[in-house]
Structure formats: C-alpha cells, structure tokens
Amino acid sequence: MELGDQVKAYEQQIIRWRRDLHQIPEVGLYLPKTAAYVAGELKMMGIPHRENVGGSGIVALIEGNTPGKTIALRADMDALAIREETELAYASTTENMHACGHDAHTAMLLGAARVLKDNQHLLKGNVKLLFQAAEEGPGGAKLMLEEGAFENPKVEAVLGLHTGAVGGNIQNGQVGVCFGKMMAAMDRFVIKVIGKGCHGAYPEKGVDPIVMAAQIITALQTLVSRELQATEPAVVTVGKIHGGTAFNIIPDAVEFEGTVRSTDYQVREWLAKRIGDLTESIAHGMRGEVEYEFFYGYPPLVNDPNFTREFLQSAKKVVAEEDIVEVKIPVMGGEDMAYFLEQVPGTYFFLGSIMKLEDVQYPHHNSRFMLDESVFATGTSLLVQGAMDWLENN
C-alpha cells in the first residue's frame, strides 16, 4: 500500500485526535491534559517516549531496522488565552482556544507517528517526534534543546509545518516552501522616558515625558524607512504606552514597549543598538532621560536550501506540482522552530488550511479562527514522506 493510502486510512483518526485536543486547550510551558493525551496515544502505539522535556514537551523515538541517521519531526501543542466563539460541536471547554492550529499540528504528527510505526521495518535510520510546549511563548523549543531533545540519538535534520493561512496566498491544500529566510526574529523593547512632572498649565516648569515619548515613537519609524535598505524586511512597532494620571498634569515618566521584527542577524543587532541610541539622543536633547531594555526573542527562521530542495521532491509525491508555492518574501511573524533550524539543516513549510465562518475567513489568533480538516491527511503525508525520503537518501 502506498504511503498516501496508508495515511488516508488514518484520516478520521487524525481528525478525532484534533477534535479531542481542540476541546482541552492549554497555554504556556505546562500542558498537563494535552501532554497526557499525546503520551497516552504514543503508549498505545508502542512508541517509547520521554515526557516533561522543556515543560510539558514530549520526545518520542521510532528506530528503524536499518542503522542510519536521525531526523526530527516537530509539532507545537500549546494554545492561546482567547475565548472561542466558533460554536463548533467540539469547541473549547476552557477559557483558552486553539486559535493558531497547534491542535492540528499535534494531530498530524500523531498521524505521522502511526504511519511511521507501521513502516518501522523500512526506515533506514530513526525518526524523533518532538511534541513541543510554549511556542506562543516563552519558547519551548529552546528549552527542549537545552534538555537534550536533539541527543541520544543525535538529530541531524528537522522538519515541521504550520497550517492555516500564515503564508499569504497559499490556498487550502497547497504547500508553501521557502529556500532561506522564511520568518522573522521576534524581539521586544521597553523604554521608560523620564521627565519632571508639573501642572499642565505651566509646562515650562517641568520636562514633559509625553512630548518626548511622542517624538521618540515617531522617530523610531525612520529607522526602517530611512536607515535600512528598502528591500531589507524589518518592522518596529510600538504596541503599548502608559503615562499620566489626569488631563491637566504632566507626569514624571511615560513607559512604552513594542516589537522588532527582522530576518537578518546583523540587522537585528543594528536595530537593537539604534533604537537605544536614537531614544537617548532625543530624550537628552529635550532635557529628559531614558531607561532602555531590549529583549532578544526567537531568532529568524531560516530554512536550509539543500534540505528544502530534497523536501520539494518529497512534496511532489504528495500534492500536485502546481499546488507547491514558493514563499519568496519572508513572513514577519515569529516561530521558535527557528531554534531547531539553528542547530541542524531542515525546513519549515506552510500548509494552507482555513475554513470560513459565515463566509468570513478569520485570521490566526482570532476567537473565530477555524481550520479545514480535509487537509490534515496531506500534512501527515508530507511529514512522513519527507522523513522517509531523507533517511533513504542520506
């Protein structure tokens, strides 16, 4: 039986796994119900696994009958602190929601586990299954690496996917591949502008941090528009600002924070420095002071071109060639799959899978976000085919 037919035989099971997981969404590093569910399914499959790796992460291993290299397949398991408003029969039973598709990722990887276990005798090497917590933050991938997820046996390649509509114009059932920079670093900054409070009617007696903050926020946009090459992707966004207690009082300080997105390591370092330099210059020029902190989050997600070319050939065995779309412009969202791809060659691909609600396509991280379940078997097939082909050829 062909691999695609084998996956198809488990399609309804993959959907059931996803629906079960969709009802018990959990947030962050510790996902006791989700992890127990996944571990229970792996146990029934007879797949050895280690639990509580990087929070509630699980590392499972399928060893082939023929010695060889080891490839990892990764799925994230965590949800978001959003109350679901889809009215699906299998909607969340908690205050959280799988509003980004991680329940589907987990179900598709469980499907891959089932099919790979069935074909264990054909594997020329090993497949590690990484079920990861906290992709939405603070970053379970890094913690899993620190706790040995890529060791014993040593992982030499990694493959993962994101479903939904992350990749722009990728339609349901289509596969988005990228041969390099695919997603941005996800960094954060906090700036406190310190002035001198006074009565709003007599601003000359104080130093107005609100005016300083306004100048700084406006000037920060010029870092991208006037100091970076126009073809270099970068974003500086201020998303939160706090200051003042009354309409007629100039406060002592204003604090704001934002996110910085970039796809190049040098640009990332440059932005971190220039935000501080520019902020300090403006504040000092207006008789104020600043406190500046920059927090490095997930690094840029960069696919290995050679591995991606190999995966492309595997993908052609699963979907029609015209349904494989090259992602040429990086997505400015972040993904901690980037940590895994910093360690070994691999690729991360997009799988179009979105379902409209009342003729509206709601985006990721929305309370009405929904997925097209008919695409899940395709995701499982891509993971299985990619892993088996890589082991065969390497």
Active-site positions read: 78, 135
Q: In degrees rounded to 5, what are phi and psi of residue 142? A: -60, -40
Q: In angstroms, rounded to a whole number, what is the distance separating the alpha carbons of residues 336 and 332? A: 13
Between 102-118 and 376-393, two packed helices, what is the crossing angle to 10 degrees?
Answer: 50
Q: Are 368 and 86 spatial neighbours (Cβ–Cβ below 8 Å)?
A: yes
Q: In angstroms, rounded to a whole number, what is the distance separating the alpha carbons of residues 350 and 352? A: 6
Q: In angstroms, rounded to a whole number, what is the distance separating the alpha carbons of residues 230 and 227? A: 9
Q: Are 251 and 197 spatial neighbours (Cβ–Cβ below 8 Å)?
A: yes
Residue 50's beta-bridge partner residues? Answer: 59
Q: Which residues contact 23 (CB under 8 A, 6 or more apart)?
A: 90, 91, 92, 93
Q: In angstroms, rounded to a whole number, what is the distance separating the alpha carbons of residues 42 and 110? A: 8
Q: In angstroms, rounded to a whole number, what is the distance separating the alpha carbons of residues 162 and 335? A: 10
Report the candidate in 186, 174, 168, 185 with the shortest Cα–Cα distance to residue 328.
168
Q: And the tokens for 343?
A: 């360690």
Residue 325's beta-bridge partner residues? Answer: 176
Q: Are 125 and 71 spatial neighbours (Cβ–Cβ below 8 Å)?
A: yes
Q: How many CB atoms lie within 10 A of CB 90?
A: 15
